[in-house]
Amino acid sequence: MTISGIVDVGVKNVSKVADGAAKTSVAAGNNNRVAFSVTEDLGGGMKAIANAQMRFDPTTGTTEAANVRPLFQGETRVGLTGGFGTVMLGRGLTALQLPNGGNSDPWGVTTVAGSVYAAGFATDYAAGGEGRIDQGIWYTSPSFGGFTVSGSYSPRKVVVGGVGSKTPLSLNALYANGPLVVGLGNEENRAGDTLTQVYGNYDLGAAKLFASYATIKGGTAAERALAGTFSAASSAVNSGNGATGPVAADGKIKNWTIGATAPMGAATLRVGYSQWNGNGAAGQKDDNKFGLGVKYDLSKRTFVYTDVASQTRKNNTGLAADGKDNTKVTSFDLGIAHSF
């Protein structure tokens, strides 16, 4: 059994916050976690594997999002792996959600500067389900020269008035060989929303380049009625009236990102830009986010970092006659992380 994890805490400042909220806070920059991984050799080239990942808020000692998310938010899966590939059962990130953010975002979906790479979509809109499925089944093929295909599915439905919602399905193809990583995936959640994304990176040595392009389509109003709650934070995007929410019913979001990392001794510079068109409702304008930061390694397991991000939410209230009612938010962080 292997025990691993990360503890990451920093000071964060946000220029605009909700009434009564503090602009400066001590908060996590990454998803703090303790992970347990087990492998047992069964012979004949087959192994049993199991993973369980606890997630927590290091500033309060509670589980993530003020105890809203499950204790084992990260993953709870068990399965078999061998020449046939890997089959797992339980709860975890979907076939597309597992590789896309880390391979398209220079920050690996951490800190205030992380890119917006799947605006308005969440695998499950219930709290804690942002990129994950419960009661899931996963399959990943063996690698063929760096090429793998994977899929995940859950038979779990939400039933309203005797009518069931859709069942989450995710498919992904990934090529990772040498300096090049390229992925293509498609996913549908229980609300009928779909995410189609191409993503990847290329390591030039002096720098690593990142990019992604995604289209997010909203399900119908009837499918939304069956989907239940919409409380997942990662689904929240500009809705054009000052509120936040997922992609609009029958709406469409186009979302693209570019970025790079450049190692300079113990330091790594990180830069990224992402753009998307509000929440896909009629009359939405393009929203954008720019991030810049530096990570400095103190050792193989400990580093400090600082980042700044500027995010513009266009047409945020929809009240301006010229349609340029913008809100700009600037965020800054300074933190330290230790992995074990």
The answer, yes or no, to whether residue 23 has pLDDT greater than 70, is: yes
Are 128 and 65 in contact by the 8 Å Cβ rule? The answer is yes
Tens of pLDDT along 167-226? Answer: 999 999 999 999 999 999 999 998 899 999 999 999 999 999 999 999 999 999 888 777
What average pLDDT does this structure show over 91-109?
96
- Domain containing 330 equals 2-339
- Indicate the pLDDT class of residue 333, thresholds 50, 70 and 90: very high
> Mean pLDDT across the chain, nearest whole number?
91
**Structure confidence by residue, pLDDT tens digits, 238-268:** 765 555 678 889 999 999 999 999 999 999 9
The model carries a pTM of 0.92
Q: Mapped to the 3 state alphabet, what secondary structure does the chain carry?
A: CEEEEEEEEEEEEECCCCCCCCCEEEECCCCCEEEEEEEEEEECCEEEEEEEEEECCCCCCCCHHHHCCCCCCCEEEEEEEECCEEEEEEEEECCCHHHHHHHHCCCCCCCCCCCCCCCCCCCCCCCCCCCEEEEEEEEECCCECCEEEEEEECCCCCEECCEECCCCEEEEEEEEECCEEEEEEEEECCCCCEEEEEEEEEECCCCEEEEEEEEEECCCHHHHHHHCCCCCHHHCEECCCCCEECCCCCCEEEEEEEEEEEEECCEEEEEEEEEECCCCCCCCCCEEEEEEEEEEECCCCEEEEEEEEEEEECCCCCCCCCCCCCEEEEEEEEEEEEEC
Q: Which residue from 23, 201, 5, 37 is spatially nearest to 103, judged by alpha carbons?
A: 201
pLDDT at 227: 66
pLDDT in tens, 37-52: 999 999 999 999 999 9
Interatomic CA distance for residues 247 and 236, integer angstroms: 8
pLDDT at 260: 98
Give the Cα separation of 42 and 98 in Å (integer). Answer: 27
Top mean-pLDDT range of 148-162, 203-217, 304-318: 203-217
Q: Supply the pLDDT for residue 20.
A: 85
Domain count, the chain: 1
CATH of the domain at 95: 2.40.160.10
